[in-house]
């Protein structure tokens, strides 16, 4: 699977600090406000994405489940509070709300990290997760497109993904290279913005409000750009894995529901 490894959503050091934060026992998920739900979901993603634990490790899977619960609750609150209107373009959205556009992406990436237990039907469970994640990634990219938030390279990649016919090999390679460069530029720009923000915080100037707003908006926009490229990469990985699992399911049906030769050999190897 081609999952996002080289880039994490915005937050950096701040998100890592939130990782260690726990909610008071008396504070239920239902009572958690939107900003905290989002911060917890984002922190869970950072923790999982940077973890050295195996994908099926119980601690990692618990963190995935917790992060997904916060992300789902945040998405519910964004809808119930009408944070966005359908006809709002990027320039119309408040800086503090821009991060919530990332929620479908965060939800999809956490879902892709769910590892179903090795048991009968685990392939069906994985397929369900892949389809759910793909729908969220597509919704994320469609939303950015509708709000004129996709920059040139990501927009071209999304158009390629939606096209009825694939690009010729040369054009596809050219687009891939341009997207890789754009994603790399976005990552470096975000790192520079985060470093600048840390420096400003250390200075503790009383005159930082306007600069904070401008830098925060720039960081959010760069984050959206980088995540749009990551979403396109994840969609490609999801399609490849889904094709493989559907082929296994078809082979199993032809085999009367029994495990295929490849599955039996894989089981013996374990």
pLDDT 10s digits, 196-247: 877 766 665 555 555 678 888 999 999 999 999 999 999 999 999 999 999 8
Q: What is the dihedral of CA 152, 101, 242, 239, to 10 degrees?
A: 0
d(CA 135, CA 133): 5
Integer Rg of the chain from CA? 20
Per-residue pLDDT at 259: 57
Report d(CA 195, CA 110) in Å as an integer: 27
Kindly state the tokens that stand for 187.
Answer: 């990552």
**Ranges of residues in the chain whose predicted pLDDT is under 70:** 1-27, 118-121, 200-211, 257-270
CB-CB contact of 167 with 175 (8 Å)? yes
CB contact at 8 A, 242 and 199 = no
């Amino acid at each position: 699977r081609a999952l996002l490894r080289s880039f994490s959503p915005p937050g950096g050091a701040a998100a890592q600090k939130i990782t260690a934060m726990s909610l008071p026992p008396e504070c239920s998920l239902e009572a958690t406000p939107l900003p905290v739900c989002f911060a917890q979901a984002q922190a869970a993603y950072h923790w999982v994405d940077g973890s050295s634990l195996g994908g099926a490790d119980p601690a990692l899977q618990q963190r995935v489940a917790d992060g997904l619960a916060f992300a789902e609750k945040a998405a519910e609150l964004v809808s119930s509070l009408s944070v966005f209107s359908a006809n709002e373009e990027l320039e119309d959205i408040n800086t503090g709300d821009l991060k919530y556009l990332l929620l479908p992406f965060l939800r999809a990436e956490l879902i892709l990290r769910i590892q179903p237990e090795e048991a009968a039907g685990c392939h069906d469970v994985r397929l369900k997760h892949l389809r759910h994640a793909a729908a969220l990634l597509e919704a994320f990219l469609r939303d950015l497109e509708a709000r004129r938030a996709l920059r040139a390279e990501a927009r071209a990649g999304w158009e390629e993904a939606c096209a009825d016919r694939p690009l010729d090999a040369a054009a596809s390679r050219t687009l891939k290279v341009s997207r890789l460069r754009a994603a790399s530029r976005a990552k470096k720009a975000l790192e520079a913005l985060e470093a600048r923000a840390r420096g400003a915080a250390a200075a503790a100037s009383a005159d930082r409000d306007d600069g904070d707003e401008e830098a925060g908006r720039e960081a959010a926009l760069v984050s959206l750009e980088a995540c749009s490229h990551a979403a396109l990469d994840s969609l490609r990985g999801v399609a490849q894995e889904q094709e493989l699992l559907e082929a296994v399911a078809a082979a199993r049906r032809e085999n009367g529901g029994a495990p295929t030769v490849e599955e039996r050999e894989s089981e013996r190897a374990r």
